[in-house]
Structure 1
Amino acid sequence: MHETSNNKKDNILKHIGIAAVTAEGAAITYKYICSASEQVFGKHTHPEISIHGFSFSEHVNFGPERLKKWQDLLVRSINKLEATGAQLVICPSNTPHEVYEQVCEKINIPWLNIADEVAKVAEQKQYKKILLLGTQFTFNSAIYPNAFEHLAAEIVIPTDEEQVLVHSMIVDELVSGVVSENAKQAMQGLLSKYAQQGLDSVILGCTELPLIIDEALTHLAILDSTQILGDAAIKAATN
């Protein structure tokens, strides 16, 4: 039996591991990689993908031990993915990238950094004044400031009150796939405010934010960390 060209392509693509934190973030990323791959490799063709995720309740440890907890969970998850044959890994959740460097020291396969990939696209697009949205942990961490420190771009953080609002939307609704009309209107108002202040783009620094933010909601250019990470994974799988 002769092998088709698609079979040959399947055999040379690297195996992608997805270290899941939330079901929504992992599902959106998985579906995006599969659909976007068809544009690159042809119909029904995408890299081999494995997903591992502990219960989300394991990640919702917001006490003083949270960084140690996230580090342990990610190392264990990535090791399980490597054992299935994954040759590279992504984590479609921005917040745990706070322990990226510590985790990389303890794993054997490359982990693509979501913030670094977003920064690459922002540089290519030449965005200069960028609103960051995400959880309060992402707002308060160095994840995005570190990724953008070499760029001539300003990262704008919402007010404390707005941070609480966005964090609540994510944790109380989006991670469960819920999008209320009240949340959508509040988000539209927030985005409109910053567009009027002269910002040119917004980072969806939470992989569930595409559930509520799209081009119909804002005039700001969208840096969707979910899609950007998916594109980076596809590219890495071909190298």
Structure 2
Amino acid sequence: MTGARLGIVGGLGPLAGAHFYRRLIELTPAEVDEDHLAVVLISQPSIPSRRKFLADQGPSPAPALQQVVRELESLGCDLIAIPSSTTHAFYDDMAAAVHTPILHLLAEVAAALRSAGAHRPAMLATQATIDTGIYQPHFRPDLRPLYPPPTVQNKIEALINAVKRGDDVKPLSAEISNVVSGPWTTPADSVLLACTETPLITPTTCSLPIFSATDILARAVLKRLRPEHSPATQCSYGWWT
């Protein structure tokens, strides 16, 4: 077997990991099966909750995350991707555990926003991602993310949890459309689907450009492992993702 092999840390949650792999396939310019990347996806939902730990309500997930990246390295992966923004609070722990390079989702998102000229993205993220401020060090000074008020953030958290439960995504997409159409996004110039559950319920109606952290990560993988076939920045739906 030849060609680069990608390792995916899945289960964070399970649908987000599966959706990332699907988007990687869909964004890969391929004519036949052999044109796609070799992938090892370890979906390990038993990893302790990142959100609970960051809220001082549970054990650290770092040891379990380190175990997964070590296993991916042992299976010959050339690059590791983690389709979860909140989990990047433990990026340094994982990077220290292996020699295999791990893509940094937050840095890739920041670079994509910079390239597109976005300055005021409305953030759809977990409360843990917001509270830890893990995106901020990667944003340039003139990029000022817009965070929702508490009542709206509670709704976003509820929608994220609904995706994790496996609820029907169609009505959830309608609900998140209402969220991004609210007055809190008036100053925004774009929407960032930062939590990787939210691209599963991408707003069906939105007047702003939409960036998907999931798609940005998939494109970053292809840029590194298939640079000759890197997909275009704009997706087929006409949204910037």
Shorter-normalised TM-score: what interval? 0.7 to 0.9
Deviation of the 1:220 alpha carbon: 1.5
- Supply the AA of the counterpart residue of 2:109: V
Query: Which residue does the alignment assign to 1:59?
Result: 48
Query: Which residue does the alignment assign to 2:237?
Result: none
- TM-score if structure 1 supplies the norm length? 0.84
1:198 aligns with 2:187: yes
Tell me the number of residue pairs that the alignment of Structure 1 and Structure 2 aligns: 222
Question: Match for 2:120 among 129, 143, 152?
Answer: 129
Q: Secondary structure at the match of 1:69?
A: coil
Q: Secondary structure at the match of 1:108?
A: coil
1:226 aligns with 2:214: yes
Kindly report which structure 2 residues correspond to 1:1-239, keeping only aligned pairs within 5 A, or say none: 11=2, 13-20=3-10, 21-37=12-28, 39=29, 41-44=30-33, 45-54=35-44, 56-60=45-49, 62-63=52-53, 64=56, 66=58, 69-148=60-139, 150-171=140-161, 173-179=162-168, 183-194=172-183, 197-214=186-203, 216-238=204-226
**5+ long unaligned stretches in structure 2:** 228-241
**5+ long unaligned stretches in structure 1:** 1-9
CA deviations on 1:56-101 (whole Å, 9 max, x unpaired) are: 24333614375x6221121110001111110110111111111112
Greater RCO between the two (CA within 8 Å, min separation 6)?
Answer: 1
Contact kept, 8 Å, 2:7 with 2:77, in 1: the verdict is yes
**Structure 1 pair 160/195, CA: closer, same or farther in 2 (3 Å)?**
closer
**Structure 1 pair 129/99, CA: closer, same or farther in 2 (3 Å)?**
same
Deviation of the 1:180 alpha carbon: 6.0
**Structure 1 pair 211/96, CA: closer, same or farther in 2 (3 Å)?**
same
**Structure 1 pair 34/181, CA: closer, same or farther in 2 (3 Å)?**
closer
Deviation of the 1:217 alpha carbon: 2.1
- Supply the AA of the counterpart residue of 1:58: I
- TM-score if structure 2 supplies the norm length? 0.83
Deviation of the 1:33 alpha carbon: 1.3
- Supply the AA of the counterpart residue of 1:98: A
Q: Pick the structure with greater CA Rg.
A: 1
Q: Secondary structure at the match of 1:18?
A: strand
Deviation of the 1:132 alpha carbon: 0.8
Percent identity of equivalent pairs: 23
What's the RMSD between the two structures over aligned residues?
A: 2.2
CA distance in 1, matches of 2:141, 2:211: 15
CA distance in 1, matches of 2:216, 2:156: 21
Contact kept, 8 Å, 1:24 with 1:176, in 2: the verdict is no
Give the structure with the higher percent helix.
Answer: 1
**Structure 1 pair 118/146, CA: closer, same or farther in 2 (3 Å)?**
same
- Supply the AA of the counterpart residue of 1:71: A
